[in-house]
């Protein structure tokens, strides 16, 4: 997977579950939109990554790493509450982050 493709998949995997979780929740919290906002920020860096702009690529990789760390606590909370739907949403977002970080690292080695 190329960094450009990973940077397309990762924001979609953040925006869709994050937005769905916020809209489907009974007691919707604006905090649930943080991963979606991160996905929007990553999507804005997509053009720079496609043009091999190293600054945009490094910002996207740093943002991906930061949002991956930020999602650790919601995953633990969802598992602790026994909320399977929330745990699956956060696990999907985290898996997309792992794939994106791997693609960014592979692209940096070339």
- Segment 29-52, tens digit of pLDDT: 777 787 788 888 878 877 777 677
Q: How far is CA 102 from CA 14, 24, 68, 77, 105, in A?
A: 17, 31, 12, 26, 5
| Residue 9 confidence class, pLDDT cut points 50, 70, 90 | confident
Burial of 10 (0-12, 13-18, 19+ CB in 10 A): buried
Those residues whose C-beta lies under 8 Å from the C-beta of residue 15, and which sit 6 or more positions away, are: 35, 36, 39, 40, 43
CA atoms within 13 A on the CB side of 30: 0
Range of the domain at 27: 3-109
Question: CA geometry: angle at 14 spanning 55 and 45, to 5°?
Answer: 20
Q: Name the pTM for this structure.
A: 0.68
Count the domains in the chain.
Answer: 1
pLDDT tens-digit series, residues 84-98: 888 888 888 888 878
């Amino acid at each position: 997977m190329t960094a450009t493709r990973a940077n397309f998949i990762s924001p979609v995997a953040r925006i869709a579950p994050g937005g769905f979780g916020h809209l489907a929740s009974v007691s919707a919290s604006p905090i649930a939109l943080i991963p979606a906002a991160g996905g929007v920020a990553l999507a804005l860096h997509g053009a720079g990554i496609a043009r091999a702009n190293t600054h945009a690529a490094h910002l996207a990789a740093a943002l991906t790493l930061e949002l991956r760390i930020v999602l650790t606590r919601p995953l633990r909370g969802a598992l602790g509450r026994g909320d399977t739907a929330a745990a699956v949403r956060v696990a999907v977002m985290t898996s997309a982050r792992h794939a994106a970080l791997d693609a960014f690292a592979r692209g940096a080695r070339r």
